[in-house]
Amino acid sequence: MIRLESITKVFPGQEKPAVDHLSMDIPEGEIIILVGPSGCGKSTTMRLINRLIEPTEGRIVLQGEDVTGVNSDELRRRMGYVIQQIGLFPHQTIADNIATVPRMLGWDKKRTAERVDELLATVGMDPGIYRERYPKELSGGQRQRVGVARAMAADPPILLMDEPFGAIDPITRDRLQNEFLRLQADIKKTIVFVTHDIDEAIKMGDRIAILQEGSRIAQYDTPARILTNPANEFVEQFIGHGASLKGLTLAHVSEVELADWPVAQGELDRRALRDLLVRSDKSAVLVLDEGRRPVKWLTLRDLDSRGSLDEVGLSADRSVVEPNATLHDALDLMITSYTGTVIVTEGDGSYKGVIELDAIRHRVDEIRRAAVERMRKEPGAAPADELVR
């Protein structure tokens, strides 16, 4: 998809190259993370791809076409571009912002307007409300969504993202990351994503390139292999402590076996619920609404209470995950969940099952064993695999 061949950038007046003979292949439809300490040249590398910075040496090959010498403005219109500051034009409406590239490509008004509405809906913003607003009227998270929508406006096959979630509070960042991963599952773009945060890299990346000074590749591999099999001391140090906890962000709720839980729906009958609870040896019954969405937990004490059953119980909102959530998220909720379990729902919010701690432990064990197995098969697995040339 994108091939960098011995790309080098020496900035005028500097002796050391910012990017030193970097060669890498970026496969189609994957999220490739460039991660490394400050000043390692990761942002420069990304800007070399769309030639915001012109390389001193080397070639950039895009879908088999050498684009090192083509018109750089036209080249950039073929790639979406998202930066940390997002850079929405404050004097243009959200619709005008998103329409930037379609306008340059000469789309007609109708097609552009339809595309704007479609994209706003894709990033979860109501076009009717937000189309005519100005950037200053949006929250940080909303601006970020518009930034992504703007980058995807002309449906480019490639997205370049430079710390896109860097300036957002941790809670919103987490939500945006999840949304973005869900979106990527549909759109399957080739994404080059720059970050300095290894946790974000592990969560978002199909492959991670850990870069050292001069944009030299320390390891270019899948997150699982980087975590279980760091190529050298630099990578090990960069990953830092808690590799196994980080590994939990690689496994998803959909991979573990769900357990059954006593549930109740519709008309609530105290005696039936009591029987159900006692037979199940669990601490609470989960009440579902008519759409089978989890509502609340009812304990024995709740069932014995005098008041109406509508008024007692503990809300189940805080212990619900979707199948695409990571085990890290699930464990996090589990620790604070009232019953020590997490409820898994389908995309439409309906109840699917619960996860208990043992299921997570079991899955971690499996992952570890698989990694050990792989290492035994490829003794001294080199950091450079077929992708680093």
Task: Determine, following the binding rule CB under 8 A, whether residue 134 of this chain makes contact with other proteins.
Answer: yes
Neighbours of 368 (CB within 10 A): 13
Task: Determine, following the binding rule CB under 8 A, whether residue 321 of this chain makes contact with other proteins.
Answer: yes
Residue 180 vs 234, nearer CB to other proteins: 180
Task: Determine, following the binding rule CB under 8 A, whether residue 325 of this chain makes contact with other proteins.
Answer: yes
Least Cβ distance, residue 327 to other proteins (angstroms): 11
Residue 50 vs 195, nearer CB to other proteins: 50
Question: What is the sign, positive or negative, of the torsion defined by CA atoms of 102, 106, 110, 111?
Answer: negative
> What are residue 254's phi and psi, to 5 degrees?
-65, -15
The site for other proteins, by CB under 8 A, has a size of: 54
**What string of DSSP letters covers 105-158?**
TT--HHHHHHHHHHHHHHTT--HHHHTT--GGGS-HHHHHHHHHHHHTTT--SE
Ranges within 64-93 binding other proteins (CB under 8 A): 73-78, 80-81, 83-93
Ranges within 230-289 binding other proteins (CB under 8 A): none
Task: Determine, following the binding rule CB under 8 A, whether residue 318 of this chain makes contact with other proteins.
Answer: yes
From 48, 50, 133, 56, select the one nearest 89 (Cα to Cα).
133
Least Cβ distance, residue 345 to other proteins (angstroms): 7
Eight-state DSSP code of residue 260: P
Q: Which stretch binds other proteins (CB under 8 A): 60-68, 174-182, 204-212, 262-270?
A: 174-182
From 190, 130, 126, select the one nearest 157 (Cα to Cα).
190
Task: Determine, following the binding rule CB under 8 A, whether residue 203 of this chain makes contact with other proteins.
Answer: no
Eight-state DSSP code of residue 213: G
Cβ-based neighbours of 386, under 8 Å, separated by 6 or more: none
Among 333, 354, 355, 359, binds other proteins (CB under 8 A): 333
Task: Determine, following the binding rule CB under 8 A, whether residue 150 of this chain makes contact with other proteins.
Answer: yes
Least Cβ distance, residue 76 to other proteins (angstroms): 4
Ranges within 100-119 binding other proteins (CB under 8 A): 100-101, 104
Q: Indicate the SS3 state at residue 378.
A: coil
Residue 104 vs 375, nearer CB to other proteins: 104
The dihedral over CA atoms of 346, 350, 352, 357, expressed in degrees to the nearest 10, equals: 90
On whether the CB atoms of residues 387 and 24 are closer than 8 A, the answer is yes
| List of residues contacting other proteins (CB under 8 A) | 50, 52, 73-78, 80-81, 83-93, 100-101, 104, 124-126, 129, 134-136, 139, 141-142, 145, 150-151, 160, 175, 178-179, 182, 317-318, 320-322, 324-325, 329-330, 333, 345, 349
